[in-house]
């Protein structure tokens, strides 16, 4: 049977992709960010996951305002990097795992999550930057990916509690997939950042670190954080952290932290990264 062996959370700032693609990832500005992922790269090389269920948000790339799915799951064989206004990133295509994706999609719908199914889309920095952070610059990505896109742009976005429940349902879906697969769930985005208006540049390291703390152990307190708290405390784009809750709850009742990294700034954003494993 397929099993969820670990969870990873990471910011997905587009500038990190630029830094990697232009060889600046070890310079004075980006070195302290990328070095916080060195442990994870070695660990991933050792873990060799078969599939990542990669929770992310599309930033007006695959979805324009004509369709705004709250939860969408990619069931395609392959995804191309999106052209976000400066040409597509020169990174490998992302290979899907259509069998597992369709299994999860069907299972979630029967579990009363009304998923949007995507058979064709391009994937933007929300998805490709975390792959870069965890795997560097390979010829081909060493894993297959099931993209799970969450609307965190147009309000209301899903509640933290709903995200938590979705993660639990993903865990049930993966556990009922007959093939023996090593599956990780990644939650991406955040941490504190605001990209708009006179309040732009907001960073809240105290709140961010309390949120990182909340990912570890057996508390489910983070699921009850209301949207307004993310907005007030972490800036308008800090709401992306609801996606971390999907990863966290997919790991079951209790987690242990294997690695943790926090750095300010990257562009307008606080970088947060944590690696978790489920504790039976």
Partner 1 sequence: MTGPTDIHAYLAELEDIPGTRVYTAARARHGYWLNQFAMSLMTAENRAKWKADEAAYLADWPMTQDQRDAVLARDYNRLLDLGGNIYFLAKVFSTDGLSFLQAVSTMTGMSVEDYSAMMNAGGRSPDGLRSKKEPN
Instruction: Kindly list the catalytic residues.
Output: 125, 193
178 binds partner 1 per the rule CB under 8 A: no
- Least Cβ distance, residue 130 to partner 1 (angstroms): 17
Of the pair 118, 203, the CB lying nearest partner 1 is at 203
Q: Is 200 in the site for partner 1 (CB under 8 A)?
A: yes
C-alpha 97/C-alpha 87 separation (Å) is 26
Among 11, 132, 194, 255, binds partner 1 (CB under 8 A): 194
**In the sheet that 78-81 helps form, which strands lie side by side, from edge to edge?**
94-95, 78-81, 122-123
State how far the Cα of 129 lies from the Cα of 269, in Å rounded to an integer: 14
Token pair belonging to 193 = 């950042």
Binding span for partner 1 by CB under 8 A among 70-78, 90-98, 106-114, 150-158:
150-158
What residues from 204 to 233 belong to the interface with partner 1 (CB under 8 A)? 204-205, 207, 224, 227-228, 231-233
Minimum CB distance to partner 1 smaller for 15 or for 214: 15
Interface residue with partner 1, options 6, 16, 59, 273 (CB under 8 A): 59
Nearest distance, CB of residue 147 and partner 1, angstroms: 17
Of 46, 64, 114, 218, the one binding partner 1 (CB under 8 A) is: 64
Shortest reach from residue 180's CB to partner 1, in Å: 35
What is the sign, positive or negative, of the torsion defined by CA atoms of 66, 70, 73, 78? positive
Residue 84: half-sphere exposure toward Cβ, Cα within 13 Å: 17
- If you write DSSP's letter for every residue of 143-176 in order, what string do you get? SEEEEEEE--SSSSPPPHHHHHHHHHHHHHHHHT
Output the smallest distance, CB 202 to partner 1, in A. Answer: 5
Judged by CB under 8 A, the stretch of 133-141, 169-177, 249-257, 262-270 that binds partner 1 is 262-270
**Residues 6+ positions from 97 with CB-CB distance below 8 Å:** 50, 51, 144, 145, 146
The answer to whether residue 197 forms part of the interface with partner 1 (CB under 8 A) is: yes
H/E element, 272 = strand 269-279
Asked if 40 and 277 touch (Cβ cutoff 8 Å), the reply is no
Give min distance, CB of 136 to partner 1, in A: 23
> In angstroms, how far is CA 59 from the centroid of its own chain?
13
Instruction: Give the per-residue contact string, 4-23, with partner 1 (x = CB under 8 A; - = no).
Output: ----------xx--------
- Token pair for residue 261? 């990294």
Bridge-based pairing state of the strands 3-10 and 269-279: antiparallel
112 counts as binding partner 1 under rule CB under 8 A: no
Residue 90 as a binder of partner 1 (CB under 8 A): the answer is no
Element (H, E) at 244: helix 242-250
Site stretch for partner 1 (CB under 8 A), options 44-52, 154-162, 173-181, 254-262 = 154-162
List of residues contacting partner 1 (CB under 8 A): 14-15, 59-61, 64-66, 82-87, 153-156, 159, 161, 192, 194-205, 207, 224, 227-228, 231-237, 264-265, 267-268, 270
């Amino acid at each position: 049977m397929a099993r969820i062996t670990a969870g990873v959370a990471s910011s997905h700032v587009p500038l990190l992709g630029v830094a990697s693609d232009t060889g600046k990832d070890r310079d004075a500005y980006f070195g302290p960010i990328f070095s916080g992922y060195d442990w994870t790269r070695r660990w991933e090389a050792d873990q060799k996951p078969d599939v990542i269920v990669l929770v992310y948000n599309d930033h007006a790339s695959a979805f324009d305002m004509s369709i705004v799915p709250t939860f969408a799951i990619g069931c395609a064989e392959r995804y191309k990097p999106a052209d976000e206004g400066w040409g597509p990133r020169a990174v490998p295509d992302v290979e899907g795992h259509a069998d597992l994706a369709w299994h999860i999609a069907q299972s979630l719908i029967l579990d009363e999550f009304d998923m949007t199914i995507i058979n064709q889309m391009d994937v933007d920095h929300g998805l490709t930057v975390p792959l870069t952070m965890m795997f560097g610059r390979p010829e081909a990505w060493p894993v297959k990916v099931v993209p799970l896109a969450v609307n965190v742009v147009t309000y209301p976005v899903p509640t933290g509690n709903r995200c938590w429940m979705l993660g639990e349902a993903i865990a049930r879906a993966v556990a009922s997939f007959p093939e023996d697969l090593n599956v990780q769930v990644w939650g991406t985005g955040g941490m504190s950042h605001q990209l708009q208006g006179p309040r732009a540049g907001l960073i809240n390291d105290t709140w961010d670190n309390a949120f990182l703390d909340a990912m570890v152990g057996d508390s489910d307190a983070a699921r009850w954080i209301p949207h307004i708290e993310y907005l007030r405390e972490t800036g308008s784009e800090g709401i992306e952290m609801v996606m971390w809750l999907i990863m966290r709850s997919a790991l079951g009742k209790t987690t242990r932290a294997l690695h943790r990294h926090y750095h300010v700034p990257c562009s307008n954003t606080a970088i947060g990264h944590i690696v978790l494993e489920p504790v039976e």
